[in-house]
Amino acid sequence: MREAVAAARYVTHPRVLGRLPELGLAPGEVREALEAALGEVTLEDYKAPDHAFNPPGHGFVWQSRRFGCRMYLKFRLEGKKPVCCLYSLHKDDY
């Protein structure tokens, strides 16, 4: 995951872009925000889904130092040379 993001192999779902202002971020800051989030989350932060979400992905909830709040991150890796599909990066408000 980190390698895909570092190599700029990621796509951002439109709903992520729509929620960036809540974090004080602009669309051009997604990569930095994603790298910061990946630097903070651990396996212990993994949140198994309560039910099937569309699209499926790996969710994490953690207390972020960078963003100063509890955050939710959801992504999926696709392809042989993985591309990170970013579906959620926002305050944990669900």
Please tell me the pTM assigned to this model. Answer: 0.89
Q: What is the mean pLDDT of each run of 10 residues along the chain (94 residues)?
A: 83 94 95 95 88 78 96 93 93 87
DSSP-assigned states of every residue in 7-42: TT-EEE-HHHHHHGGGGT--GGGHHHHHHHHHHH--
Identity of the amino acid at 53: F
- Name the residue range of residue 79's domain: 2-91
Would you state the pLDDT for residue 8? 86
CATH for 76: 3.30.2310.40
Domains in the chain, number:
1
Q: Is the dihedral of CA 64, 66, 71, 76 positive or negative?
A: negative
Handedness of CA 16, 66, 77, 28 (dihedral sign): positive
